[in-house]
Structure 1
């Protein structure tokens, strides 16, 4: 999401006034120090036990592939570079960049998920380039993006296939969803800007156009679609997965590239969501899943991933609704300590009890703090951080939780790559007032990759 102090204020919010003040640094500096210490402690374990692997297994100290078994591409270290840079851990940035330059090779004869490869690898490398200025990182980002392009160019509709073989360009997986066809514009757009090659932006935007133009008469979007026929595969509309980042990238595309058409699409869909999906239960604002063609409520389960929407609403001028939605997830955090993957908000019971180190609540806390300047969002994020350390820290890193309702919460032997990019960066930016970020004008992607606002 695009983070800009003053942007929300212009749309009806308040400008944060605490960034950079001595009193704020004095109060939050120790929390920032703790965030950095935990991040670098985990990083040292990754170096010692899983260097170059996609993931470390934090309980056993083993290694884990993410995209394709037997083909790690250094996912965790690519995701970590801009976070380390923002933390001024420059020797570790240099270490990671050396590995990327010396060892990262995308000529892999295997199918990679296009969406995940884009937000994680294209975005991670682009952010590393933006922070360091090392053009070798931009070359790697362009290389992998070019290997993803057949997913778009070989589709009869312009909606990308889910998978592409990085060595051969063979595509597969036409049964897809609006997230996996519509979350490219930020990463592809900055590549177009930095290289002068407009193909990236045009292909990403065209896929978003196809989805928008197929909206229902209620201006709502089902989430499943077929890349070859362009036909909907279901009727269910949601702001959670797999609908979430499509809406995010409409707003982000408008703010990053000053594209008014994207703003029009975003406003049309957001007005419909607020009018036809939002409801209050026990005084809290929620967004149930509804039939996109009739508006009938289909489910009142809420995914932890939907928590991002509170921040998106605030950034796009709907500050009151964004705060109200964050209040709802705060009630869940207060109840469970760590937010489960999904809850039935009518009973406040967990319907999926795991939590894979999810960052969306902290993401929205950052967005709302920037939009309003209210310290309550830092307080909420500190609780989120402290609860993560208390429940997920283990022998060699931080572990996803298998059951947040157990006493103590039970852990699983995995640490997702986004942990290095997302919530640790959100915490750091909330508490550190780092001089390396332009707090007034910067951009974090859906994976929290910093693509604008690095102060070198």
Structure 2
């Protein structure tokens, strides 16, 4: 071969090798995890458009992204057989055939309400996060991941709507959890509503397609724990996470948001055999355990904490809004773990002791009902450096979960005092419903706390005096000539109420959830009729053509209530579900077989070893 020919061949081969190197480098660079982008997911309402959009999305797995701060050693989810825990529901319920027939008709009425809401969502907002019931417009405020779809999978199954369940699953499995238009997501909400909904639907149906989606969402949320101290980021930027940009746990965040992953992460580890999820939340709960006795109100955690510095030095303590999901899940975690980790029982006994002594109070009421409500405690330091507590007797609708919590704990740990407290708390929230013109409790109200929980006679003069003080405290200047009778009438305050700072009703589940748990653990029959009256009140006041809408003011009577263009997903995924189960037989989603997460999704309690072979 001539020298010239060899040079030509060498040149061609060299050019070809350079081309291959360039092509390899370009592909490697484009596929590098640090360059992964998360594209917006379509909010299109028809399934075909949704699926088409998904095919164009970038594909990657959250679990494949390398961790910046990996856990050195994983805590292993307990794999031995669960302990024999006490039965939560009485054995051998003996409801008469007439009672069963009455309950069945009530159950069907609840299902009819759900179906009406669901059909409107199907036709007007399919695959969106929610539906605005007055305008009929779809809403996307939870990442655009079809929160209404995911959140109601278990409701569809429980209500026997299996064709709708199958159609919904077919859409849900197409959701791309690597894609969102939201610059930031609330990982707490995604956990209890999306992951909780998927886990529940899988536990009920055993559909393996849903298990894969559970893993997808669980891995995404697990990435939010990739911080120096392994505390989760609540307001999390998934786009930065996908690009492997560092994010830190927040310095000002709700304790409930940080601590309420327990049930979902425990259950995900149980059904997958992967302990990383359990390890993530167990580290968090061990921190809460260490801090519990050193807060300003020992036993309770402050509403706001510094997760980055692991500081729990806040001075506001409540079981209500902004804290309820934390306290709700802890005894349920003990159940889900089969009693294998005593820490959760210890935590429960500490905070219920503190709450019973500080937050719970008897409200003065004209019928002198022996009931309890839950308020907020503020801790302040005196001039001599001593801590003092002050009870604010403002009650939030979300605090009404506490009756169910004490009912569950009383049955689980055999604490008779907790059963008594549970009955009084549930009765207190029923009283607040019944006292309003519409028969619906407002989001927040103020009342007069009794000096004693054992003796509290009605004193109308004292009630008016406290209402006068409350009215003046809200004015920029004192009003000594305020006519309290006129004030009470103008502000439509029933006897016993001294203020209603938030007269709206968002159709929340907290009261019926507690009534359901108390009924299942005690079979207290009067709760059935009270629940039916409550359901009718909610339905009559909030019904619209396209669903049920939040009520602007529950104190207005004699006219059709003013409604807002909002139907929160918890109306169908929680409130209606609890009403349906309230009127169901005791073996439907028994508390001895399931625990409910903070979003109202039942998760299966393990009965045998769940360790993978």
Q: CA RMSD in A?
A: 2.2
Q: Using the alignment, how far apart are the partners of 2:587 and 2:374 within structure 1?
A: 37
Q: Using the TM superposition, give the Cα deviation of residue 233 of structure 1 relative to its aligned residue in structure 2, in angstroms.
A: 5.6
Q: Using the alignment, how far apart are the partners of 1:226 and 1:359 within structure 2?
A: 29
Is the Cα–Cα contact under 8 Å of residues 236 and 290 in structure 1 kept in the other structure?
A: yes
Structure having the higher Rg: 2
Matched, 1:273 2:355: yes
Matched, 1:101 2:203: no
Change (3 A) 1:113 1:301: same
After superposition, what is the alpha-carbon deviation per residue over 1:357-391, rounded to whole angstroms, capped at 9, x for unaligned?
Answer: 11100000001101110112222211221111101
Secondary structure in 2 matching 1:401 = coil
Matched, 1:79 2:148: no
Matched, 1:299 2:392: yes
Matched, 1:58 2:58: no
Secondary structure in 2 matching 1:42 = helix
Secondary structure in 2 matching 1:351 = strand
1:136-147 alignment to 2 at 5 Å? 136-147=209-220
Secondary structure in 2 matching 1:374 = coil
Secondary structure in 2 matching 1:240 = coil
Change (3 A) 1:269 1:439: closer
Q: Using the alignment, how far apart are the partners of 2:388 and 2:129 within structure 1?
A: 41
Is the Cα–Cα contact under 8 Å of residues 74 and 104 in structure 1 kept in the other structure?
A: no
Matched, 1:358 2:451: no
Q: Using the TM superposition, give the Cα deviation of residue 102 of structure 1 relative to its aligned residue in structure 2, in angstroms.
A: 2.6
Q: Using the TM superposition, give the Cα deviation of residue 166 of structure 1 relative to its aligned residue in structure 2, in angstroms.
A: 3.0
Change (3 A) 1:141 1:166: farther
Aligned to 1:12: none
Is the Cα–Cα contact under 8 Å of residues 379 and 390 in structure 2 kept in the other structure?
A: no
What is the TM-score when the length of structure 1 is the normalising length? 0.91
Aligned to 1:319: 419
Matched, 1:44 2:119: yes
Matched, 1:404 2:479: no
5+ long unaligned stretches in structure 1:
10-14
Match 1:382 to one of 532, 545, 567: 532
Matched, 1:194 2:271: yes
Change (3 A) 1:153 1:433: same
Aligned to 1:452: 604
Aligned to 1:232: 312
Q: Using the alignment, how far apart are the partners of 2:576 and 2:236 within structure 1?
A: 30
Change (3 A) 1:16 1:386: farther
Q: Using the TM superposition, give the Cα deviation of residue 147 of structure 1 relative to its aligned residue in structure 2, in angstroms.
A: 1.1
Q: Using the alignment, how far apart are the partners of 1:103 and 1:277 within structure 2?
A: 43
Q: Using the TM superposition, give the Cα deviation of residue 356 of structure 1 relative to its aligned residue in structure 2, in angstroms.
A: 1.1
Change (3 A) 1:113 1:330: same
Aligned to 1:309: 402
Is the Cα–Cα contact under 8 Å of residues 162 and 174 in structure 1 kept in the other structure?
A: no
Aligned to 1:287: 374
Change (3 A) 1:52 1:281: same
Secondary structure in 2 matching 1:367 = helix
Q: Using the TM superposition, give the Cα deviation of residue 261 of structure 1 relative to its aligned residue in structure 2, in angstroms.
A: 1.2
User: Which has the larger strand fraction?
Assistant: 1
Q: Using the alignment, how far apart are the partners of 1:321 and 1:94 within structure 2?
A: 42
Q: Using the TM superposition, give the Cα deviation of residue 439 of structure 1 relative to its aligned residue in structure 2, in angstroms.
A: 5.2
Q: Using the alignment, how far apart are the partners of 2:530 and 2:391 within structure 1?
A: 31
Count of aligned positions: 442
What is the TM-score when the length of structure 2 is the normalising length? 0.69
Is the Cα–Cα contact under 8 Å of residues 5 and 16 in structure 1 kept in the other structure?
A: no
Q: Using the alignment, how far apart are the partners of 1:375 and 1:292 within structure 2?
A: 40
Q: Using the TM superposition, give the Cα deviation of residue 91 of structure 1 relative to its aligned residue in structure 2, in angstroms.
A: 0.4
Q: Using the TM superposition, give the Cα deviation of residue 177 of structure 1 relative to its aligned residue in structure 2, in angstroms.
A: 1.3
Where does structure 1 differ by over 6 angstroms across 4 or more consecutive aligned residues? none
Q: Using the TM superposition, give the Cα deviation of residue 338 of structure 1 relative to its aligned residue in structure 2, in angstroms.
A: 1.1
Match 1:339 to one of 437, 441, 465: 441
Is the Cα–Cα contact under 8 Å of residues 54 and 73 in structure 1 kept in the other structure?
A: yes
Secondary structure in 2 matching 1:251 = helix
Aligned to 2:287: 210
Q: Using the TM superposition, give the Cα deviation of residue 105 of structure 1 relative to its aligned residue in structure 2, in angstroms.
A: 3.6
Match 2:164 to one of 87, 92, 96: 92
Matched, 1:223 2:303: yes
Q: Using the alignment, how far apart are the partners of 2:328 and 2:178 within structure 1?
A: 28
Q: Using the alignment, how far apart are the partners of 1:165 and 1:19 within structure 2?
A: 53
Is the Cα–Cα contact under 8 Å of residues 86 and 434 in structure 1 kept in the other structure?
A: no
Aligned to 1:157: 229
After superposition, what is the alpha-carbon deviation per residue over 1:234-277, rounded to whole angstroms, capped at 9, x for unaligned?
Answer: 20110112221211221111111022111111111111211233
Is the Cα–Cα contact under 8 Å of residues 19 and 433 in structure 1 kept in the other structure?
A: no
Secondary structure in 2 matching 1:158 = coil
Q: Using the alignment, how far apart are the partners of 2:586 and 2:213 within structure 1?
A: 28
Q: Using the alignment, how far apart are the partners of 2:343 and 2:592 within structure 1?
A: 24
Q: Using the TM superposition, give the Cα deviation of residue 197 of structure 1 relative to its aligned residue in structure 2, in angstroms.
A: 1.0
Q: Using the alignment, how far apart are the partners of 2:217 and 2:508 within structure 1?
A: 26
Secondary structure in 1 matching 2:190 = helix
Is the Cα–Cα contact under 8 Å of residues 319 and 399 in structure 2 kept in the other structure?
A: yes
Is the Cα–Cα contact under 8 Å of residues 222 and 292 in structure 1 kept in the other structure?
A: no
Secondary structure in 2 matching 1:214 = helix
Aligned to 1:427: 579
Q: Using the alignment, how far apart are the partners of 2:154 and 2:605 within structure 1?
A: 12
5+ long unaligned stretches in structure 2:
1-83, 365-369, 381-386, 411-417, 449-495, 607-613
After superposition, what is the alpha-carbon deviation per residue over 1:32-82, rounded to whole angstroms, capped at 9, x for unaligned?
Answer: 0101111111111110000011110111111111224xxx21111111111
Is the Cα–Cα contact under 8 Å of residues 93 and 586 in structure 2 kept in the other structure?
A: no
Q: Using the alignment, how far apart are the partners of 2:93 and 2:588 within structure 1?
A: 17
Q: Using the TM superposition, give the Cα deviation of residue 224 of structure 1 relative to its aligned residue in structure 2, in angstroms.
A: 0.4
Q: Using the alignment, how far apart are the partners of 2:172 and 2:334 within structure 1?
A: 31
